Structure 1
Amino acid sequence: MFAVIFRAKPGVQDSQYIETVTKMRDLAFEKYGCLDFVAVTEGDQEIAISYWQSELAIKRWKSDAEHTLAQDLGRAKWYESYIVQVVEIKREYKYNL
């Protein structure tokens, strides 16, 4: 399993941002097999972690035309800066989840 960690310093996030995030999340689940998605904002930092079965699915998601447009809008309007990390999960431990 793989995870994509998106850490950002948000800029102005308008109603178009909210619509786009919802649409992109739905697209990730429905078309590219995203397994889970969690996002939080604290202070001036946003962190989103999505989980995927394969690195290929992540690459396809990244290159999707609608997602590419959303990324362009993010850089132009909604984020001051961000970093994306793709990691492979080697082990997982659970307690009552």
Structure 2
Amino acid sequence: RKKVGRKGDGVFRLHKDRLEFGAIEAGRDWEGQCGSKIITDSLKICKMLKDMLNQLAIECNMKENHVRKLRVVGMLQSGNRMQVITADLSKGYVTRIR
């Protein structure tokens, strides 16, 4: 059977609790800002970060003061370029990607 969810190139997690708080997507070559690989990887990592935030919010029992402090990080690497992406739940259920 196939696992449900997205599979990235790397995941940051706590070993004991299996809580995920970061992801990595890597590409071999830089195709430019509008290359298909960078676009698909950036969309994929944003979805992964959103899923991680939702899972961490559930672990916090959806307590608003704890949920607003949550932040996950993603790294998008392509060729010799690297982009760091952060995501948080600043205003409730809306995920903010920076």
TM bracket, shorter-chain basis: 0.3 to 0.5
TM, length-normalised to structure 2 = 0.33
Greater fraction strand? 1
Larger RCO (CA under 8 A, 6+ residues apart) = 1
